[in-house]
Amino acid sequence: MSRIVISIVLGALVAAGSWAGDPKPGGAPSISIADLHAQREAGAAPAVIDVRTAGEYASGHIPGAINIPFDEVAERIGEVEAPHGVALYCMVGPRALKGESALLAAGYETVFHIEGGLAAWQAAGLPVEGTGSTTP
C-alpha cells in the first residue's frame, strides 16, 4: 500500500516539475531539489528560507533553512546573509510564491523558488531537521 502512495506522490511531483522551471512573467525562477543540493554541497547555494509557520518549521525543515513566515519575508530579509541570493519554500509552493512576489516587488533580484517545496525534498530522500524529522 505504501508503495502505491509513494508512486502517486512521486507522479504528482514529476507532473508538477514538468511545468516548473522558468518563471511566470514577474515571478522568480525555480531551482530543482537536485540543483539546490549540488549547490549546497559546493558551498555556492542561495540562502534557504522556509516561509511556513514556526510550528510547521519546528516539525521538520530543510537543514540550515531560516524560518521567516511568508507575510514577513519582505520586512525581515535583511536578517539573512545571502551572497548567492535566496531560495524560498513551503510544503508544496503557494506560500513561497507569495513571499517571492513580495521580495521581487521590494526590488530583490536574486530570488528562487524551490521546486516542489519540502514535499519534493523529502520525496528525494534528503534529510530534514525538526521534531518530526526523518533522516534516510
Task: Check which CATH number belongs to the domain holding 66 and give it.
Answer: 3.40.250.10
Asked if residue 134 is part of any domain, the answer here is no
The total number of structural domains that make up the chain? 1
Asked if residue 136 is part of any domain, the answer here is no
Asked if residue 42 is part of any domain, the answer here is yes
d(CA 129, CA 58): 8
Global pTM reads: 0.78
Asked if residue 19 is part of any domain, the answer here is yes
d(CA 55, CA 21): 29
Q: Which domain holds residue 107?
A: 2-123
Under a CB-based contact definition with an 8 Å cutoff, are residues 96 and 89 in contact? yes
Under a CB-based contact definition with an 8 Å cutoff, are residues 64 and 80 in contact? no
pLDDT tens digit at each of 136 positions of the chain: 444 433 333 333 333 333 344 444 457 999 999 999 999 999 999 999 999 999 999 999 999 999 999 999 999 999 999 999 999 999 998 999 999 999 999 899 899 999 999 999 999 999 999 986 554 4
Asked if residue 89 is part of any domain, the answer here is yes
pLDDT recorded at residue 26: 56
pLDDT recorded at residue 133: 58
Considering the candidates 45, 48, 74, 90, report the single residue annotated as catalytic. 90
Q: Which of 44, 36, 45, 88 is nearest to 66 (CA)?
A: 88
Asked if residue 128 is part of any domain, the answer here is no
Residue 131 designated active-site: no
